[in-house]
Chains A and B, each alone.
Chain A
Amino acid sequence: MISVYVIVLAVACLVAVVCALPGTFLVVRGVALMSDAISHSVLLGIALFFLLTRSLDSPLLLVGAALAGVATVVATETIITTRCLRQDAAIGIVFPLFFSCGVLLISLFARDVHLDVDMVVLGEILFTPFHRLHLFGIDCGPYALWTLAGVLGLNLIFIVACYKELVLALFDGAYAHVTGFRPKLLYYVLMLCVSVTAVAAFDSVGSVVVVALMVTPAATAYLLADRLHVMLATSIGCALFAAVAGWWCAHIADVSVAGAIATTSGVLFLAVLCCAPRRGLFAHMLYRQEMRKERTLAIVAKYLAHHANKGVTDYAVARDLGWPLRRVRWARDRLSVQ
């Protein structure tokens, strides 16, 4: 009998990897908040199909949720193509409408059922070892592990099979369209992956932490990587780190596992933001200092070249340039050494 803690850790790692894959493409494309929109809108699909099937375990709920996610994207894209609203406003109008309809349906027709909004938004990973999948009377293990593994498989198949087309559609959509590669279709299939991932994952961690795992590791990888396949690998690595570290912290401090995972992914992002080799804050500060030094030397050299025949004192240079004496002295020392 595998320990409950190990199962929770396995689910956390699986969720992290499953979310990081489509999340990378979302961040590069610039539609990261679509993950937030989709993970809220799927409630409408779940509510509708629940009212149809009257069962919480029906696989049709997954189908309904995926359809709701795609409907969100279609609606948003339609509004954007009319050019009456820009992308951010379009996203921000569609998903509250869908989510509100879902909440209304649940409040009116499914009040007393376990399908409550808190579960959707917050999830509960600690229940996953106990919710088992039973096929033909045999206990096959935790339900969440099976659904997540299946969704991971789907995501991997799509990304590996269409990798070159995805890269082309992502970076040069117009060329892709002109050469017949259907970037719009690829985009919709990607969003379908995001919807299915969101549904599979929020049983465990809730819809908002799904957003955290999709966007934050990808953004962290964006600061570190130059090529897309490196970025994909890095974001999977960051997501796994966040999952394990978050699970461990939650275990130690006895707090919400999902919240801890989201927080550790944010802490990792902050750390990389500061320390990243070429794009981090420290690297920026060092670069600016270097530039400042070079500029100082160049300006003082030019000044001295101008006044070559007169003997110029440091004080005169400092007064003319409006700089402190120390800076001029340093520059002249460096220039005379060269």
Chain B
Amino acid sequence: MSTLLVVMCGTSCIGAVAGGIGAFSLVRQQSLLGDAISHAALPGIATMFLYTQSTDPFVLMIGGGIAGCIGALLVMYIMRVTALKRDALLGIILSVFFGFGLVLKTIIQKRGIAHQAILGKFFFGNASTLLWGDIYMMLGVGVCLSVVLAALWHRFVLISFDRAHAHVLGFRVGVLDVVLTGMTVVAIVMGLHAVGVLLMSALLISPAAAMRQWTNSFVTLFWGAVLLGAASAAGGSYISSLGRNIPTGPVVVIVASCAVVISLLFGAQRGVLRGLSEVRYD
């Protein structure tokens, strides 16, 4: 029972943070950045492991975070100086970094079988091995992110909706962009070891996308995404604990996706059925 509680608390924390940051990503049309960063973190984790020989998740996370930040910054920079579009660059960063991670993985493999299991865990995560210490660390990271978000809230909202206006008003749009992207990387990497690559990218997008169908106000979208992220993570963890051998990650993704489908169909502001029933005066 206690294990279930730990897992539910841990995944809810991750879900809440991912949902909140995801609200910004949705508005900035950077939803797939989460997927790219999740994959790009792998070589960072492997390098950190080769460098420090430590299997402490927190240490490995720092490596993953650095790799993720490099990837995200490369995307932003290359977008600015060439005609290449964001989707192609995200695809390149995702696959090339991951490929390099595979190379490092085989190097680690040659040093002994026990070590390569570390990297395998990051792919699907290992929610069942969460400890209270991990929860405290994630809460700490969440609190730090919230403090930065609260301090720079208005600036972040402004650059998400109207970059030109922010630039004209004199805000350092480039710097704020980098900070917000950095926070996205931290939010994703923080959850990677617990829930894995695929789940993090889904948790970033799904709660925000679902909430978007119910509201036009960004504040409601943000808080709704936070709550929905926490709820779908906790619910998914609980459901996966009901059976034998059911992996947590995929169930949480399915729960979150169901929320999105329901919202798409029935959402108050933009749902499909609402659109069908409205009389159109075209």
Partner of A208 from B99, B110, B246, B250 at Cβ < 8 Å = B99
Partner of B267 from A84, A208, A211, A256 at Cβ < 8 Å = A84
Contact B205 A263 (CB under 8 A): no
Partner of B101 from A93, A117, A118, A259 at Cβ < 8 Å = A259
Contact A97 B257 (CB under 8 A): yes
Contact A84 B39 (CB under 8 A): no
Are A107 and B247 CB-contacts (below 8 A) given A89-B26, A211-B91, A223-B82?
Answer: yes
- Assembly CA distance A292 to B206 (angstroms): 47
Q: Which residues on the B side are within 8 Å of A277 (C-beta)?
A: none
The number of residues on chain B lying at the interface, defined by a beta carbon within 8 Å of a beta carbon of chain A, is 64
Residue of B nearest to A258 (CB): B102
Residue of A nearest to B74 (CB): A270
- Assembly CA distance A97 to B262 (angstroms): 14
Partner of A97 from B104, B107, B254 at Cβ < 8 Å = B254
Q: Chain B: interface secondary structure?
A: helix
Q: Which residues on the B side are within 8 Å of A255 (C-beta)?
A: 103, 106-107
**Chain A interface residue number, banded:** 35 or more
Are A32 and B39 CB-contacts (below 8 A) given A260-B103, A266-B99?
Answer: no
Partner of A92 from B32, B83, B84 at Cβ < 8 Å = B32
B31 within 8 Å of A (CB atoms): yes
Q: Which residues on the B side are within 8 Å of A27 (C-beta)?
A: 88
B54 within 8 Å of A (CB atoms): no
B271 within 8 Å of A (CB atoms): yes
Q: Which residues on the B side are within 8 Å of A96 (C-beta)?
A: 198-199, 201-202, 206, 253, 257
18 additional contacts (CB under 8 A) given A118-B120, A263-B103: A32-B88, A33-B35, A36-B35, A84-B271, A92-B204, A93-B206, A100-B250, A100-B253, A107-B247, A117-B124, A208-B94, A208-B95, A208-B98, A212-B92, A215-B88, A256-B106, A259-B103, A261-B99
Instruction: Supply 21 A–B pairs (Cβ within 8 Å), ascending by A.
Output: A31-B87, A33-B35, A33-B91, A36-B35, A79-B264, A84-B267, A93-B202, A97-B257, A100-B202, A100-B250, A103-B124, A209-B99, A216-B95, A218-B88, A222-B83, A222-B88, A250-B103, A255-B107, A258-B102, A279-B83, A281-B81
A interface residue numbers (CB < 8 A to B): 27, 30-33, 35-36, 40, 79, 82-86, 88-89, 91-93, 96-97, 99-101, 103-104, 107-108, 111, 117-118, 121-122, 206, 208-209, 211-212, 214-216, 218-219, 222-223, 250, 254-256, 258-263, 265-266, 269, 273, 279, 281, 284
B interface residue numbers (CB < 8 A to A): 26, 29-32, 34-35, 39, 78, 81-85, 87-92, 94-107, 110, 120, 123-124, 198-199, 201-202, 204-206, 209, 212-213, 245-247, 249-251, 253-254, 257, 260, 264, 267, 270-272, 275
